[in-house]
Structure 1
Amino acid sequence: MIFDIVLNQMIVFFLVLLTGAAASKLGVIRKDYLPDFAKLISKVLLPVMLFFLTYSRSTRETVFENLPMIGLAAAFYVVIIAVTWVLAKILRPVGDKAKVFRFAFIFGNTGFVGIPLLAALFPDSGPLYLALFSIIDQALFWTYGIYLATASGTKARINAKSFVNPNLIAMALAFAFVLIGIPLPGVVCDTLGLIANGTSAMCMLYLGALCYFSNLKDALRSKELYAGIAVKMIALPVAAGWLLKATPLDPTMTTSLVLLMALPTMTVVPMIAKMHGTEGDYAAGLTVGTLVASVVTIPLVALLAL
């Protein structure tokens, strides 16, 4: 059942992604549109979707009942940080590529892929699981992630402003509204719902355009891309799925965690890598390579582990 839903959702995502690539081929979406397109999605659409789905499908009780998701997220990041460190030592990417490789394979695309996927699979609880997971995810991304993106010999620029971003604000507001019990007028909910309903398609259209305009040659020639996909996007989530079946935890929670573990590279990784170092193009190749692979690997993980 879960495999069927995941497979269907990834096929739908892939077809919309192809639509974005076709629109780019036809000149409807141009390369210079992508930065503004990404800003619209990351600063408006995804925060609205995250807020609305968390607010509308959570209660004070469900938030407290599902707090173990924070602990599971922390455990996952301890494991993936250790595993990518070992992989980098074995594969020995040149120079700062070792750090950027780890950066790319530690942080998954919870926004553009994770939110739509969990919302489709578990409409009532999926967005809450992702919001709780994101507490650890975002805290590490804007600290340890920035360190990994920063060129060797340069001091990482980490400050409090890094944590003030639309997704974190949306998540904090959603939790506040739910825990305090603040009701929103029906017309506001309808407006937010309409925006949320179109967000998944916009994400996939953008990712399709990103694939079309990206140069994958260097990434496709790098052995670390394939090793990262095999270990992070297949082996680890499958092993976690088998282990978590033996625990008394809610199966929907553990299923959500396994799928979050299997996500492709976070879309903003190339931008952060370029901003803080010299390996932005390498990061972009890994990002698009993992995105294309995820169309196959996520359903495979669902088949083998769930």
Structure 2
Amino acid sequence: MGQFGVMIGQLVGFLIMLMVGYGCVRLRFYGQTALDGMCSLLLNVLIPVLVFSNAVDGADRAQLAANWGVMLLTAVMYALLILVFWLVAKLLRLKGSRSHVFQAALIFGNAGFIGIPLIMALWPQNGAIYVALMSIIDQTLLWTYGVWLCEPVDETTGGNAIGARGAVVNGSVNGAGSVGNAGSASNAANGGSPAIVRPSPGTRVLGLLKRFVNPAFVGVMLALILILLGVKVPDIILKPLHTIGNMATPMSLIYLGGLFALTKWWGVLKRYELYAGLVAKMIAFPLAFYALLTALTGALPQLPITHDMVLMITVIAGLPTMTTIAMFTGRKNNMPEYAVGFVLVSTLFSLASLTIVSAVVF
């Protein structure tokens, strides 16, 4: 079976798992509390274990050095995504939090829940190394720029995001409330405007570093350190880790299916930017990016980039909205339904868009 056939098989499987998750919640087998637990388990255990176990399984320093071009491609992809969707938000005249959440939803694709299973299925030999190297750039930007975009925007101070010390998320989409309401109410009662507390530089640096102390990033870095040191993880340890990590794909799709049943996501369907954004991000951008990289690698064959790397980053570029974006906005009560709507609608749309992109590039 060719790569296009593998992609179609994966997408059909994703649809079935989404339907199972939706049906389980509609039949009241479980509810929001169970989904919260699934979310925490996925983010803190299953996805980190999946990445770690596959990365250290048979990989060595030579393989790592031969594939460092993946990091270069990932950095270029994110630079272009940030620029393109900043411009798209301006052209669509989006402002404030709506503009920021729109950009976050289209810049960060769901590599953890959807991208990793696709990469591992399409490139079983090098997929784990691709994931590990890509995750360094992906996680760095997500927990810095991504968190900042999901902060509420203070319209009175020129559109700057507030709450810059955002913490690592361990909760659910709907499980967080508004932050700072008590202080605002106190200031309002005293007849003054809400005071904006500016954290010290040391506090900002500490808050930034804390964002990287999350299981996914730690798992990636630990795997890279072991590979660089030439440490081989024994099979007696790797086998159960693989078993645990393999639970990530079905549980992530079942979780997303459950969100469809419990979340009031349909309001986003009235937003005109949804349709322009999804077509631009999930069809136009990956195809244009593929054409650009193909031309570039043809003109500069000395670049450390293979055709498989180009195909891999094309798939990543067309992924639906990262689920973590909805969790970030939910934690700050910053348009959470809007973000969840993007996650769910883009996930459904990806069944068609990834088929179109795959038919062109594979």
After TM superposition, give the deviation of residue 167 of structure 1 in Å. Answer: 0.5
Long gaps (5+) in structure 2: 155-161, 166-206
Cα deviation digits, residues 169-220 of structure 1 (max 9, x gap): 1101111111111122221111111112222111111111122222222111
Cα deviation digits, residues 96-130 of structure 1 (max 9, x gap): 11111001111111100111111111112112112
What is the aligned partner in structure 1 of residue 159 from structure 2?
none
Q: How does 1:123-202 map to 2 (within 5 A)?
A: 123-153=124-154, 154-157=162-165, 158-202=207-251
What is the aligned partner in structure 2 of residue 30 from structure 1?
31
Give the Cα–Cα distance (whole angstroms) in 1 for the partners of residues 333 and 150 of structure 2: 6
Letter of the 1:220 counterpart: L
Give the Cα–Cα distance (whole angstroms) in 2 for the partners of residues 300 and 51 of structure 1: 31
What TM-score do you get using the length of structure 1 for normalisation?
0.96
Letter of the 2:319 counterpart: L
Q: How does 1:285-296 map to 2 (within 5 A)?
A: 285-296=341-352
Q: How does 1:202-217 map to 2 (within 5 A)?
A: 202-217=251-266
Evaluate the alpha carbon distance shift between residue 35 and residue 146 of structure 1 in structure 2; reply closer, same or farther with a 3 A threshold. same
Letter of the 1:200 counterpart: T
What is the aligned partner in structure 1 of residue 330 from structure 2?
274
After TM superposition, give the deviation of residue 82 of structure 1 in Å. Answer: 0.9
Give the Cα–Cα distance (whole angstroms) in 1 for the partners of residues 293 and 59 of structure 2: 24
Asked if 1:297 corresponds to 2:346, the answer is no
What is the aligned partner in structure 1 of residue 284 from structure 2?
235
Give the Cα–Cα distance (whole angstroms) in 2 for the partners of residues 113 and 137 of structure 1: 14
After TM superposition, give the deviation of residue 57 of structure 1 in Å. Answer: 4.3
Cα deviation digits, residues 68-106 of structure 1 (max 9, x gap): 111111111111111111111121235311111001111
What is the aligned partner in structure 2 of residue 105 from structure 1?
106
Give the Cα–Cα distance (whole angstroms) in 2 for the partners of residues 216 and 281 of structure 1: 6
Deviates more, 1:210-219 or 1:42-51: 210-219
Kindly indicate whether the alpha-carbon contact (under 8 Å) linking 1:238 and 1:258 is maintained by their aligned counterparts in 2. Answer: yes
Letter of the 1:216 counterpart: W
Kindly indicate whether the alpha-carbon contact (under 8 Å) linking 1:237 and 1:305 is maintained by their aligned counterparts in 2. Answer: no
Evaluate the alpha carbon distance shift between residue 266 and residue 301 of structure 1 in structure 2; reply closer, same or farther with a 3 A threshold. same
Letter of the 2:77 counterpart: F
Kindly indicate whether the alpha-carbon contact (under 8 Å) linking 1:104 and 1:286 is maintained by their aligned counterparts in 2. Answer: yes
Asked if 1:222 corresponds to 2:271, the answer is yes
Deviates more, 1:139-148 or 1:165-174: 139-148
After TM superposition, give the deviation of residue 145 of structure 1 in Å. Answer: 1.3
Higher alpha-carbon Rg = 2
Kindly indicate whether the alpha-carbon contact (under 8 Å) linking 1:242 and 1:305 is maintained by their aligned counterparts in 2. Answer: no
Kindly indicate whether the alpha-carbon contact (under 8 Å) linking 1:214 and 1:288 is maintained by their aligned counterparts in 2. Answer: no
Evaluate the alpha carbon distance shift between residue 198 and residue 152 of structure 1 in structure 2; reply closer, same or farther with a 3 A threshold. closer
What is the aligned partner in structure 1 of residue 120 from structure 2?
119
Deviates more, 1:163-172 or 1:146-155: 146-155
What TM-score do you get using the length of structure 2 for normalisation?
0.81
Letter of the 1:149 counterpart: C
Q: Which runs of 4+ in 1 moved over 6 A?
A: none
SS in structure 2 at match of 1:268: helix
Letter of the 2:101 counterpart: V
Give the Cα–Cα distance (whole angstroms) in 1 for the partners of residues 53 and 13 of structure 2: 23
Letter of the 2:322 counterpart: M
Letter of the 2:238 counterpart: C
Deviates more, 1:256-265 or 1:2-11: 2-11
Kindly indicate whether the alpha-carbon contact (under 8 Å) linking 1:60 and 1:178 is maintained by their aligned counterparts in 2. Answer: yes
Kindly indicate whether the alpha-carbon contact (under 8 Å) linking 2:22 and 2:254 is maintained by their aligned counterparts in 1. Answer: yes
After TM superposition, give the deviation of residue 155 of structure 1 in Å. Answer: 4.2
After TM superposition, give the deviation of residue 165 of structure 1 in Å. Answer: 0.4
Q: Which has the higher helix share?
A: 1
After TM superposition, give the deviation of residue 233 of structure 1 in Å. Answer: 0.8
Kindly indicate whether the alpha-carbon contact (under 8 Å) linking 1:45 and 1:199 is maintained by their aligned counterparts in 2. Answer: yes
CA RMSD of aligned residues (A): 1.4
Kindly indicate whether the alpha-carbon contact (under 8 Å) linking 2:57 and 2:233 is maintained by their aligned counterparts in 1. Answer: no
Kindly indicate whether the alpha-carbon contact (under 8 Å) linking 1:46 and 1:196 is maintained by their aligned counterparts in 2. Answer: yes
SS in structure 2 at match of 1:245: helix
Give the Cα–Cα distance (whole angstroms) in 1 for the partners of residues 125 and 316 of structure 2: 17
Letter of the 2:318 counterpart: A
Letter of the 2:130 counterpart: Y
SS in structure 2 at match of 1:274: helix
Asked if 1:265 corresponds to 2:321, the answer is yes
What count of residue pairs does the alignment treat as equivalent?
306
After TM superposition, give the deviation of residue 159 of structure 1 in Å. Answer: 2.1
Letter of the 1:274 counterpart: G
